[in-house]
Amino acid sequence: MHFRFPEKTIIKSFFITSFIVILLNIIISLIFDKITTIYDLEFKSDSLTFESMKEEFLLVVIIAPILETLLFQYLPYFYLKKYSAIYTIIISSILFGLSHAYSIIYIIYGLTVGILFISAFFYSIKKNIQPFWLVAFCHFIYNLFAFCMNNFI
């Protein structure tokens, strides 16, 4: 038995889909940032603190995308797929949003991103593109982007 790489079309689809999801996530973030600026709303509180940048990187960029993909996309999909897709999307997105309860606007932002992630999960299942790893990768890239923006810019 030997290891075979996935077909080039699957790899290409994985990265194209990832790019689109990440781009949409950044657009959603920019929209929410603009709304919070215009209406002087608190987007994210400083209640989440880390002892070091290394700890923040490990938890936010590495562990959170994998754990949250498992809890808020993978498990809801496999436990709720016998119901309708809309039901699964709603439950998954609400759970994802509530897990980001830093402020009310951030919960709404999390709900919106949750819809994006679970929709990407459904799409990648349909296209046979490794849904867990696609969503975790997109979440990782977005959190890496946010980590760099928060710590270096």
Q: What is the 3-state secondary structure (H, E, C) of the chain?
A: CCCCCCCHHHHHHHHHHHHHHHHHHHHHHHHHHHHHHHCCCCCCCCCCCCCCHHHHHHHHHHHHHHHHHHHHHHHHHHHHCCCCHHHHHHHHHHHHHHCCCCCHHHHHHHHHHHHHHHHHHHHHHHCCCCHHHHHHHHHHHHHHHHHHHHHHC
pLDDT by 10-residue block (mean), the chain, 153 residues = 72 94 96 93 79 96 98 97 95 97 93 98 94 97 95 92
Give residue limits of the domains in the chain: 8-37+54-152
